[in-house]
Structure 1
Amino acid sequence: MEYLLELALSPTAWLALATLIVMEVVLGIDNLIFISILTNKLPVQFQAKARRIGISLALIMRLALLSTVAFIVKLTEPVIEIMGQAFSWKDMILIAGGLFLVWKATREIHHSVDPVTKQEDSVGGQVAIGFAAAIGQILMLDLVFSIDSIVTAVGMTQHLPIMIIAVIVAVLVMLLAAEPLAKFIDANPTVVMLALGFLIMIGMTLIAEGFGVHVPKGYVYTAMTFSAAIEALNMWTRRARQRKLEQPEG
């Protein structure tokens, strides 16, 4: 109790909490984009449920991993060496997750631009991907992003209560943002393509991190923000042109 009271009265602890919440929310954007794109392929009546389950599983998984934080830290220790390159369990998980993300995003891009494949994937108005398959894929990426998130949290603070609060707040933000983001992505096909491009970039970043090449997250998110701003201008231009065409002549 005294420990918690000391943390509550510590300005340093509050600063660490605020910083960690921002970091967790930013890291959660990657996960949220993937969840939105994947669940939008489900029948409409299952989309919201899949998003809630996927994000809830992310929260449960991160809290479970926090309870074994000492084990998570050990995942960064090298366990195998290949051609002079040492790999830890964390490295191998990041590489596997990155490869899966690149494969999945590339496959979705192919389906988006190939109408024949898209028609074959749809039977009776329902997409081929099943509810259980969607949850399984979300869970797989949740694991990758959760480990990356926990390792980041451990590097920023040693206080477990701060980590737990930051994770809970970040996941609640994801839960609130999931529905609006999914609807926005679904309503704007060009945004879907941009988001898939983001996922490929994130996947390549995970692979690079797994091979020991540190890619500053600031560069990645700056590129994503710039691309999103350009797309926002394109959307604004298209809508302005459409309104002009719809205005009656004379």
Structure 2
Amino acid sequence: MDSLLALAADPAAWVALATLIAMEVVLGIDNLIFISIITNKLPPEHQERARRIGIGLALVMRLGLLATIAFIVRATTPVFELFGHAFSWRDLILIAGGLFLVWKATKEIHHNVDPPAEGDMFAGKAASLSFSSAIGQILVLDLVFSVDSIITAVGMTPHVPIMVIAVLVAVTVMLLAANPLASFIKRNPTVVMLALAFLMMIGMTLIAEGFGAHVPKGYIYAAMAFSVLVEGLNMLSRRAQARKTAIGASGAN
């Protein structure tokens, strides 16, 4: 208890907490985009429950990884070398997750551009099968994002209580933003393609990180922010054109 009080009285700890919360929220957005796209494929009555389960799994994984902090620290230690590059468990997880994300985004883009006649990839005779498929895919990406999130936390502060608070705040933000983000994506079909492009870019970044090529996150998020700005302008333009068309039609009548 004394150590926690001393930590609470340390200004540097509060700065570390604020910085880590910001980093965890940003990393959580990537996770949330994937959850939103996947759950929007489910029947409406299952979507909110799947989002809550997906975010709940993300919280459990992050807290579970914090409980095994010694293993997480060792996860960056090389376990084998290939073609002159040493790979750690973290590298392998990032590469596998990145490949899965690229595959998933590519398949979804193909489905949106050229929908198959037999229905989409989650269509099935049993709703439970679709639900379990969605949860399974969310689980895989939750693991990848959780490992990246906790390793980021370990690199920023040695204090586990600060990490726990930052994770709890970030997951709470994810929980609050889940339904509004999913509804926004559902109402704006062009945003789905933009989000899938983000997922593909994030997947390639994870693969690059796994092979030892550091990609500054600032460049990634700056590109994403610029793309969102352009898409926002396109949406305003389409709405203005729709209003103009509606006014013209009413005037003609």
Task: State the TM-score, normalized to the length of structure 2.
Answer: 0.95
| Aligned equivalent of 1:203 | 203
| Aligned equivalent of 2:251 | 249
1:107-152 deviations in Å (ceiling 9; x for gaps): 0001111133463657689889710111111011000000000000
What's the C-alpha RMSD, in Å, of the aligned pairs?
Answer: 1.7
Structure 1: how far apart are the matches of 2:170 and 2:118? 35
- SS of the aligned residue for 1:86 comes to strand
| Aligned equivalent of 2:109 | 109
- Structure 1, gaps ≥5 residues long: none
Structure 2: how far apart are the matches of 1:115 and 1:73? 44
> Are the structure 2 counterparts of residues 100 and 120 from structure 1 closer, same or farther at C-alpha, using a change threshold of 3 Å?
closer
Q: CA deviation at 1:202?
A: 0.1
**Same amino acid, percent of matched pairs:** 69
- Structure 2, gaps ≥5 residues long: none
1:155-204 deviations in Å (ceiling 9; x for gaps): 00000000000000000000000000000001111000000000000000
| Aligned equivalent of 1:68 | 68
The residue correspondences of 1:20-169 to structure 2 (distance < 5 A) are 20-117=20-117, 119=119, 121=121, 130-169=130-169
Structure 1: how far apart are the matches of 2:245 and 2:128? 38
Q: CA deviation at 1:46?
A: 0.2
What is the count of residue pairs matched by the alignment? 250
> Are the structure 2 counterparts of residues 200 and 120 from structure 1 closer, same or farther at C-alpha, using a change threshold of 3 Å?
closer
Q: CA deviation at 1:85?
A: 1.1
Structure 2: how far apart are the matches of 1:174 and 1:138? 14
The residue correspondences of 1:180-191 to structure 2 (distance < 5 A) are 180-191=180-191
Task: State the TM-score, normalized to the length of structure 1.
Answer: 0.96
1:67-123 deviations in Å (ceiling 9; x for gaps): 111110101000011111110000000000000000000000011111334636576
Structure 1: how far apart are the matches of 2:139 and 2:43? 19
CA contact (8 A) 2:95 2:206 kept: yes
Structure 2: how far apart are the matches of 1:70 and 1:18? 24
Letter in 1 for 2:251: E
> Are the structure 2 counterparts of residues 129 and 202 from structure 1 closer, same or farther at C-alpha, using a change threshold of 3 Å?
farther
> Are the structure 2 counterparts of residues 5 and 122 from structure 1 closer, same or farther at C-alpha, using a change threshold of 3 Å?
closer
